[in-house]
């Protein structure tokens, strides 16, 4: 079973059961965004968690297997058009160089890893309208001369 058929089956089961990513994630024991990225075919999880996930959704073994395969990460749009996703691109365009300079003043020459990385989403209540908080958390990787 390839990843795209796997995604289709998971989405169908999720909708018919009325689950949210958050419900499934807390059952499997990972964060919602990570769980969603696995189910959308952008990441893998270890076989044990894959079994829990498949069982919770009432899906068969080949979904379990597909969930633990290592996918190539491919996206089609050079710049995403969806407004919610585009805003990340806009933030990188407007604040990217500023973030680079502030991070490197604090940590030295290097980057924030996107591999040894996690991302959490929180709701911040606000009388003027609630706010979305997205917390990126990646290991600092220093450049080193060789």
Catalytic site residues?
A: 87, 90, 113
Looking at the Cβ atoms of 5 and 92, the one nearer to a second copy is 92
Greatest Cα-to-Cα distance within the chain, rounded to the nearest angstrom: 55
CB of 87 to a second copy, least distance (A): 4
Q: How far is the CB of 6 from a second copy (least distance, A)?
A: 14
Residues 6+ apart with CB under 8 A from 80: 86, 88, 89
80 binds a second copy (CB under 8 A): yes
Residue 138 binding a second copy, by CB under 8 A:
yes
CA atoms 34, 37, 39, 42: torsion sign:
negative
132 binds a second copy (CB under 8 A): yes
d(CA 99, CA 107): 12
Is 4 one of the binding residues for a second copy (CB under 8 A)? Answer: no
Site size with a second copy, rule: CB under 8 A:
89
Structural contact between residues 115 and 42, judged by C-beta atoms closer than 8 angstroms:
no
**Stretch 9-48 residues interacting with a second copy (CB under 8 A):** 20-22, 30-34, 36-38, 40, 42-46
| Residues present in the chain in total | 146
95-124 positions binding a second copy, by CB under 8 A: 95-119, 121, 123-124
d(CA 28, CA 95): 35
């Amino acid at each position: 079973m390839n990843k795209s058929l796997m995604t289709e089956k998971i989405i169908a089961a999720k909708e018919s059961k009325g689950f949210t990513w958050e419900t499934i994630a807390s059952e499997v024991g990972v964060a919602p965004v990570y769980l969603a990225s696995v189910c959308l075919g952008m990441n893998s999880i270890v076989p044990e968690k894959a079994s829990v996930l498949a069982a919770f959704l009432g899906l068969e073994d080949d979904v379990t297997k597909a969930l633990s395969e290592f996918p190539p990460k491919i996206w089609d749009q050079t710049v995403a058009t969806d407004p919610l996703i585009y805003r990340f691109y806009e933030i990188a365009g407007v604040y990217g160089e500023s973030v680079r300079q502030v991070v490197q003043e604090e940590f030295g020459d290097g980057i924030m890893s996107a591999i040894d990385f996690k991302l959490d989403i929180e709701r911040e209540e606000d009388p003027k309208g609630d706010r979305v908080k997205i917390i990126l958390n990646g290991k600092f990787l220093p450049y080193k001369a060789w």
